[in-house]
Structure 1
Amino acid sequence: MFVICEICDITINTAEEYDRHISGKRHINHLNYYREKKQHAMCSVFVKGFPPKTTEWELKVYFNNFGPVDKVIFDKKDEKFPQYAIIEFKYDQAADNCLSYTHPHILNSTKLNVRKRDFKELSETPYFPWQKERGQQNHSWNQPGGVQHAHGPPQGQYDPCWDTQMGQADFHNPTGDPGYEPHWQMDGGYGSNMRNFDPNYDPNIYPDFQGGYGQQGQDKGQGNQGQQGQKGQPGIPGKGKKKKKKKGGGNPQPPDKPKIKREDVIDLPVTVEDFLQEMMSQTQKGIQAEMGVLADMIQVTSQELQSRYVICKTLEDVLSMFFPGVGINQFGSSVNGFGIKGCDMDVFIDLTNLGIPCRSQAIELPYVRDIRFLKKQKGPLGHDDIVKLMTIDKAKLILRILIEHAPACSDLTLIPSNRCPIVRFTHLESGIKCDLSIDNKLALQNTRLLQTLSLYDQRVRPIVYVVRYWAKLKGIAGNPRAGPCLSNYALTLMVIYYLQNVRPKVLPTVQEMADLCGNQRTIINRWDCSFVAAQFIPPTMNSQTTEDLLAGFFSFYAEFDFHTMGMIMRTGQPFAVSEAANLAIPMKMGFFNIQDPFVLDHNITFNINEKTRQLIAVEFRIAAAKAAKWKQPEKTASKTILDLFTEDVPEGVEFSDLTSKTSSGIQLGEYQFTLELKVDALDQGLIHTLRKTGNLQVAWCRKMCVFAYGILERVLMYDIEINKTNLTEPLPKSRYYDHKTKGRKRANSSESQEAENKKTKTGTTTEKPATSTEGQNSAKATVSVLAGPGMEAMPGEGTDSKSTEGAEAAAVQQEVPMDEENQTDYEDADVYLDMDIKIFCRTWAERKKFMAAFKARGYSDSVELEQAVSERLYYDHFKTAKSPIVEYNFIVKSIVAGSTASLLFTVQGDKDQKEFYCVYHYIKKFITKMADKHFT
């Protein structure tokens, strides 16, 4: 059953999620804030009825008779004639003395109305809903470590009597830490200890707790010191992590066998050894026969299909009681014709065509008080009842229904998402993992499209099965532990894209299938998702074998330039990434670009990073070289599909050009990236401003160079020292850097300014400090530095009258001599900037959380918002390190050739620095994102 945390206003579905939540910063901060507010309320009284002209001093003098008054808070709605006041004492005993005063409170001959200050009590620990209703607040969950109870033991002291674990004062403390507090001590998740929560517990009412969440914490609990083997015990964070296996371990393979990639870390439906044994028992030989055998071995079995039907029937029986006429539809690999043995099951819950409730007897709904726009406590529910519900609330309601009425579903949990929340569970009998989504008709239509193409030509399925097996074995697709990999859906579309480009082509394009529909169109969420069935498509004229098509698949993508080209699945045509802005419906560009066949603004491979893209290109080249040998006459008798699964690298495979390069063809090193001029995407006012300087390309490079400096120095708040530059624009520092762990002041404080002035007078620095203010006031200074003097600000940007104050500082900076050994060829460029960056604070962490908080307060998505988030992280959230976390040498160089222009960023530094790699990629992504947002 789910658990409610009133402090954070969320629900918790599993023991593991509970353990992670109560030890997280969000819950701890909210809990401390709630206790602080509660303490203030306990020390306060509410006063009403005093004369209109009563002053704060008069109230303080009177109420000081009961104890020292800390402050007086007047009614802010009517400052001239306040209707009430709140008297806040320094101690709660003073408030009690005031409230227990038996005589009337009289001030200025007027009787005062004094009562206790109102405060909404919340449960400080998560609880089951029925506990709240029955007033059973005390249970076995403890406060998270690091949070001091308002009336608890003194800080830093451990009092075992303060714990309430199962009503026992003494519990096992495996760490010996005085601040240690135990996690869940339950058998099988909740198990039989459910009685400790509710004395009226009935296993027939809550059958799902018979083994609901026990397995999730079982493995993680193995790492706890002194508690190994406890079933259902979630692990302490940072404990019990698996040790990495050393290379070269394990039993060496015999020299006469090919070297096969290790499968102990890859979840394969069939091992390579099992496939080899099955092939030895077959009479037919050859690549084509092997492809058929492999497809038969790894495809979904008839028993699994029957189990999936039973799961859908179970869901329909349970949910139809609450939603009459609900639709249960499978989608994804289970039914699209390319399902692999043991694959997850995707189910689409259709609530759009609910019928009229016809039950004669009402059915009790689960806990729904936290679901907005749902006023009913009993069902069944019709279309009018759920039409106003948000998708996340629908998923939450379905989750709770399954928890209480579907004992065959275990490990139920909700994966929240604004676009498509998912209810995930495991079917106990079959062990199949299921993902339920609400109103996801687009995914259902994608499934029908793949199913149609798999039925159109019988050669499609064995090719897809072999490619998916190969990609999973190589770790480039389907393995979530391998990081940002290709999804099975994306890999299947790559096969379809190739078969659409073979001559003669094997498969028709989606646009051709849609044109055959005529005027009968299927529109889902404004997207045209029309296509005809397989029997209405003209037959293909291609007669190649599956062996030839498989070899051609690897050869096709071995020559495909993933750096500069993308794929349009609807028309089967490539497109240049540099011209992506000219697409009819633009989409986000990433390192790997495949446009969805229906949702044209969706890049289905946007998750692929640069490292994975290079790995994909490497594997395709190796596989293409191996498949090319199948055509050699001497290999006719010995060729086998197992060649693709070995780790050998054939001779002659070139990897020299696999390093990154831009869409314009500039070759990049490992730690280099570019910003490219896209004239068509620039604002016309900005183009006019740049052309005033004479050379638009050079002016753009100067502006973007200043912009990048402002992003790093002002927005991300990095400490920057200029080595050498030919920029005429000033690059002043925006704050006084004082990296101390304690006593650090904000940049606009008087103390920091005095320190900066003293430092300047003593000659320790030649820079003139440029003050900045917080919040909205700092936005003008930020924009002026980012835009650069001598140019008009971007449309919508402000200007700063003090922007020229740092010109002298920049001129002095440029006069700083540079060592001969550090000089590079960037001095030949029209624009260059060589700077050293020191990072003292993790302003790149948890930005999304603070971004959402600032947007809720009215900030617009802009540079000012990014700077406000960094200031919050820098000053209030993270501690500033005494020494730099990471140090870089950042070189920015312009490359101008004709009508094209680019800024080349080169990052140098010690690669052994702990966070060198991750911070570099964040800076690269952040600068690119900000440039695209504000200059296109």
Structure 2
Amino acid sequence: MEANPNIKVTPKGFLCILCNVNLPNLPSLGQHVKGRKHMTLSAVKETRKAQGECSVFVSGIKPDISQTDITEYFQKFGQVSDVIMDKSKGVFAIVQFTEADSTQATLSCLEHRMKGLKLRVKPREKKDFKLIPKKAGSENLQQSLDRLKPQLCQLASVDAQMQYVVERFQLGDNEKKARELLVQLLQEVFVEFFPDSQILPFGSSINTFGVHSCDIDLFLDLENTKVFQALAKSTTEQAGEAMSDDGRSEDSILSDIDLSSSSTNEVLELVATILRRCVPSVHKVHVVGSARLPVVKFHHQELNLQGDITINNRLAVKNTRFLQLCSGVEDRLRPLVFTLRYWAKQKQLAGNPSGAGPLLNNYALTLLIIYFLQNCDPPALLTVDQLKDMACEEEECVIEGWDCTFPSQPIAVPPSKNTEDLCPLLFGFFTFYANFDFAGSVISVRKGRALPITDFLSQNKAEEAMHEEKPTKTQPHGPKLGPLILLDPFELSHNVAGNMTERSHRSFQRECQDADKYCRSLQYQRKSIKGKSWGLVRLFTPHGDALRAKTEQLTISIPFKLASLPETLRNELHMAGDGFRLLWFQKVCSAVEGVFKNVLRCDIAPSTDAVFGQDSVVDAAGEMETSLNTSTNDSFDISESQDTAVVGAKRRLSSGSEASASPQGKKARMTKMRKPELPHWICAHKHMVWAGRRRVRRELIKDTDCRPEGSCMELEAQVTDHIIEKEPELKETLEFKVQPQMVGETESTKTVLTLEPTSDKTGVFHDLFHFLEIFLPKMVETLLEKEAARA
């Protein structure tokens, strides 16, 4: 590996200074350097370095000097890309050029005078780029709860606690007015550059679920501006003059850009320029063009408010109106949303940094709450399809081909017959999702029910085939499959929880299970007479580091990748219906066993309580899936007379003979037993078949066929045989256990192999593990393709 200034050699391996991560060996280092986090931070570091070389620090200015003044002055030394001003004091600025030569020309000038001021110009201070750690988050969570705890403990009921959470965190009247004034200011500015345009707020600022300091989301509607521009162009061509009907000159900003043909990012760059130069107290303006919906981000310094502006998000405005309607129809929705959002934040289930990350977003969590209320008995909220039938003709709406029709006023919707209090509804939410079948379900708020996942598997398969034949840049029509599939109420091709990973989804369902158990206790339902924490306080308590600390397991994940599966295997999975995961797990287990036995020549034997055959693998997978959906107790009850342990089975009723053998009036004695261990393989290696494989492979193929590692079963088996023949045996046989388990759902389904050494006197197990971590998934994919071709 080439020398990397971000990598430092340590006695225990390597240290990535950029990411602050320790790595044990070269394979791990290679994987890390190719990872998204490292590559992103490397790109940011290089960008910051380039910006520093192209920037100068300017002092000696006054508050009445604008960015435009500074730009016009320094433009004579070269093109200025940005000017960052200290707007709170107005005493310095950073001028950034597009070329480093402009920086040298500026510094070479002995004296800088602008509007009677003598400016002091010097090179911008160079600072090392460092990753800011996020460990302070847990302390902030506890501090947040500590401030809330005294008031919550004094209230008389959980219902009162939930109402207090709303009062404590909701947007105040002054905050709402400040947002309204900002919208008015932006409207006045943008209409000067984009005639007849509109600034429309959406999201948490106006959907009734906004909290203190939440971002303000804005939609810049340019449809009327496009019409104006077309009419102005037509009028100009007819008159033969550079003047439109309302007297606007062609040297206006619209003469520089054609909205009908310009790209989204081009228009957003123009919006960003207007924000920087024409809106007071706005700074930190930048365009995020790589997002699903590109936006311009900014910060209003005086209001201390983060904001986003988008030009192609009309559906989001309609989504906001829908949430407003639900909130107006159902009074209990707001307390539930505020309580569960705070709970999710405390448990680190929500709150993605900078809007991107694997955690649940607030909009998705709100839809999960609405879906739960739709499925209460009786329902507390109607489905979107039911609401559509209640709308009048004037309320019919279709946006980008999606039906967005629903009543505009809550009075048009009949009240719910559900009269449950907030306390049992919150309990019901946790119970509902603690046992929810995310594996086979696509959650539809529009239908108010779960749709079968198999329908979407076949749909995505057809779309992928079309995309391979005719690649396009457009998004696929089907939703992104993931561990949690939650369809948008209107844009039915959008999975609003598509950012979640298998780990974040498991955390969400596990926390729901823990909360469900807690809500069954008196500590949740009744106020403590001794002044102890109760109700929401215990529910909101964040996890401490000690509770989160877990022993690191050596695991290898083999993900379910629909796109890489052979066509024949895809067809088999589709035909299997709801059992497609178990069938895929069976195929993977057979392939794993084939790799160990036929490729790596490992002595392998299944555990004594299971054999990995065609049927038994499916049974084992079913047992694993059942165990994942049951409560995670350390032990379970089982009758002494039973020979087989069944997870979650109820105790049998005593027969007459059993009753006579037991004391009168007492139930049959129950014995606490550990859950049976999941099936596994016991593997043994006598040779280090993982050492020097690349060198042996090159010798065997003799540069006539450069095949990548793990792409050919016969070649890899020859490499193993060559090592066994040429290299000496280990002094002590290496023995280890491999335990397969299926976790996750849909495209995030994984076969997780847990490896544990049982006899490693020579200390080579970790080297074997790091080899298998890369080799095994590739080899399994190869064997699946070979089996499909043979079929």
- TM-score w.r.t. structure 1 length? 0.49
For 1:716, the equivalent position in structure 2 comes to none
For 1:531, the equivalent position in structure 2 comes to 406
- 1:492 pairs with 366, 369, 372, which one? 366
For 1:591, the equivalent position in structure 2 comes to 483
Report Cα offsets for 1:134-186 as digits up to 9, x if no partner. Answer: 45479998999xx9x99xxxxxxxxxxx97784499xxxxxxxxxxxxxxxxx
Q: Which has the higher contact order (CA 8 A, sep 6+)?
A: 2
Does residue 1:682 correspond to 2:529, yes or no? no
Taking the aligned partners of 1:723 and 1:383, their CA distance within structure 2 comes to 69
Contact persistence 2:600–2:720 (CA under 8 A): no
Taking the aligned partners of 2:772 and 2:288, their CA distance within structure 1 comes to 28
Letter in 1 for 2:540: F
Does residue 1:356 correspond to 2:228, yes or no? yes
Contact persistence 2:298–2:308 (CA under 8 A): yes
- 1:629 pairs with 496, 521, 526, which one? 521
Taking the aligned partners of 1:551 and 1:769, their CA distance within structure 2 comes to 66
- Structure 1 residues 459-538: aligned runs within 5 Å: 459-480=332-353, 484-517=358-391, 521-533=396-408, 534-538=410-414
| Local SS of the residue matching 2:443 | strand
Q: Kindly tell me: are residues 477 and 609 of structure 1, through their superposed partners in 2, closer, same or farther at Cα, counting changes over 3 Å? A: same
For 2:273, the equivalent position in structure 1 comes to 400
Report Cα offsets for 1:530-581 as digits up to 9, x if no partner. Answer: 2223222222110101111111112222222445544222222224546641
Does residue 1:771 correspond to 2:666, yes or no? no
Contact persistence 1:477–1:486 (CA under 8 A): yes
Taking the aligned partners of 1:632 and 1:409, their CA distance within structure 2 comes to 46
For 2:235, the equivalent position in structure 1 comes to none
- Structure 1 residues 172-321: aligned runs within 5 Å: 199-200=113-114, 235-238=127-130, 264-266=139-141, 271-279=144-152, 285-321=156-192
Does residue 1:574 correspond to 2:450, yes or no? yes
Gaps of 5+ in 1: 1-15, 29-127, 151-161, 170-194, 204-208, 210-229, 246-261, 360-375, 660-667, 691-696, 710-719, 727-735, 740-755, 774-780, 790-803, 827-890, 895-901
Please, which moves more after superposition, 678-687 or 591-600?
678-687
Contact persistence 2:444–2:450 (CA under 8 A): yes
Letter in 1 for 2:345: K
Taking the aligned partners of 1:811 and 1:279, their CA distance within structure 2 comes to 65
Structure in which a larger fraction of residues adopt helix: 2
Residue 903 (structure 1) shift: 9.5
Taking the aligned partners of 1:334 and 1:267, their CA distance within structure 2 comes to 26
Q: CA RMSD in A?
A: 5.9
Q: Kindly tell me: are residues 545 and 684 of structure 1, through their superposed partners in 2, closer, same or farther at Cα, counting changes over 3 Å? A: closer
- Structure 1 residues 388-467: aligned runs within 5 Å: 388-417=261-290, 419-467=292-340
| Local SS of the residue matching 1:386 | coil
Does residue 1:605 correspond to 2:505, yes or no? no
Letter in 2 for 1:620: C
Q: Kindly tell me: are residues 502 and 680 of structure 1, through their superposed partners in 2, closer, same or farther at Cα, counting changes over 3 Å? A: farther
- Structure 1 residues 711-722: aligned runs within 5 Å: 722=600
For 1:23, the equivalent position in structure 2 comes to 49
Report Cα offsets for 1:195-215 as digits up to 9, x if no partner. Answer: 95xx55799xxxxx9xxxxxx
- 1:556 pairs with 419, 428, 432, which one? 432
Letter in 2 for 1:441: R
| Local SS of the residue matching 2:339 | helix
Letter in 2 for 1:605: A
Taking the aligned partners of 2:564 and 2:693, their CA distance within structure 1 comes to 41
Report Cα offsets for 1:617-643 as digits up to 9, x if no partner. Answer: 232222222222249987686753222
Taking the aligned partners of 1:231 and 1:294, their CA distance within structure 2 comes to 50
- 2:204 pairs with 317, 333, 352, which one? 333
Taking the aligned partners of 1:591 and 1:431, their CA distance within structure 2 comes to 36
Letter in 2 for 1:489: Y
For 1:906, the equivalent position in structure 2 comes to 753
Residue 771 (structure 1) shift: 3.0
Taking the aligned partners of 1:383 and 1:538, their CA distance within structure 2 comes to 52
Residue 592 (structure 1) shift: 2.6
Contact persistence 1:892–1:903 (CA under 8 A): no
Report Cα offsets for 1:435-463 as digits up to 9, x if no partner. Answer: 11112101111111111101111111011
Residue 394 (structure 1) shift: 0.6
Residue 615 (structure 1) shift: 2.1
Q: Kindly tell me: are residues 614 and 686 of structure 1, through their superposed partners in 2, closer, same or farther at Cα, counting changes over 3 Å? A: closer
Aligned residues: 559
Q: Kindly tell me: are residues 326 and 678 of structure 1, through their superposed partners in 2, closer, same or farther at Cα, counting changes over 3 Å? A: closer
Report Cα offsets for 1:650-684 as digits up to 9, x if no partner. Answer: xxx9x9xx99xxxxxxxx99544454999999369
Does residue 1:642 correspond to 2:642, yes or no? no
Taking the aligned partners of 2:192 and 2:320, their CA distance within structure 1 comes to 28
Contact persistence 2:693–2:719 (CA under 8 A): no
Taking the aligned partners of 1:680 and 1:236, their CA distance within structure 2 comes to 45
Q: Kindly tell me: are residues 285 and 17 of structure 1, through their superposed partners in 2, closer, same or farther at Cα, counting changes over 3 Å? A: same
Contact persistence 1:141–1:165 (CA under 8 A): no
Contact persistence 2:197–2:222 (CA under 8 A): yes
Residue 493 (structure 1) shift: 1.0
Residue 473 (structure 1) shift: 1.6
Letter in 2 for 1:645: F
Taking the aligned partners of 1:769 and 1:341, their CA distance within structure 2 comes to 67
For 1:174, the equivalent position in structure 2 comes to none
Contact persistence 1:577–1:589 (CA under 8 A): no
Residue 264 (structure 1) shift: 3.5
Residue 523 (structure 1) shift: 2.0
Larger radius of gyration, structure 1 or 2?
1
Contact persistence 1:568–1:574 (CA under 8 A): yes
| Local SS of the residue matching 1:346 | strand
Does residue 1:614 correspond to 2:506, yes or no? yes
For 2:215, the equivalent position in structure 1 comes to 344
Letter in 2 for 1:265: N
| Local SS of the residue matching 1:448 | helix
Q: Kindly tell me: are residues 597 and 923 of structure 1, through their superposed partners in 2, closer, same or farther at Cα, counting changes over 3 Å? A: farther
- Structure 1 residues 87-126: aligned runs within 5 Å: none
Letter in 1 for 2:516: A
Residue 614 (structure 1) shift: 2.6
Please, which moves more after superposition, 902-911 or 380-389?
902-911
Percent pairwise identity: 24
Please, which moves more after superposition, 519-528 or 614-623?
519-528
Residue 345 (structure 1) shift: 0.6
Letter in 1 for 2:381: L
Contact persistence 1:322–1:380 (CA under 8 A): yes
- TM-score w.r.t. structure 2 length? 0.57
Taking the aligned partners of 2:486 and 2:185, their CA distance within structure 1 comes to 37
Letter in 2 for 1:462: P
Letter in 1 for 2:303: S
Q: Kindly tell me: are residues 906 and 684 of structure 1, through their superposed partners in 2, closer, same or farther at Cα, counting changes over 3 Å? A: closer
Taking the aligned partners of 2:192 and 2:783, their CA distance within structure 1 comes to 50
Q: Kindly tell me: are residues 702 and 462 of structure 1, through their superposed partners in 2, closer, same or farther at Cα, counting changes over 3 Å? A: closer
Gaps of 5+ in 2: 1-41, 54-69, 82-93, 233-248, 461-476, 576-582, 605-690, 743-748, 758-763
| Local SS of the residue matching 1:426 | strand
Taking the aligned partners of 1:676 and 1:137, their CA distance within structure 2 comes to 48
Residue 605 (structure 1) shift: 1.7
| Local SS of the residue matching 2:199 | strand
Q: Kindly tell me: are residues 141 and 454 of structure 1, through their superposed partners in 2, closer, same or farther at Cα, counting changes over 3 Å? A: closer
Taking the aligned partners of 1:272 and 1:769, their CA distance within structure 2 comes to 66
Taking the aligned partners of 1:926 and 1:738, their CA distance within structure 2 comes to 14
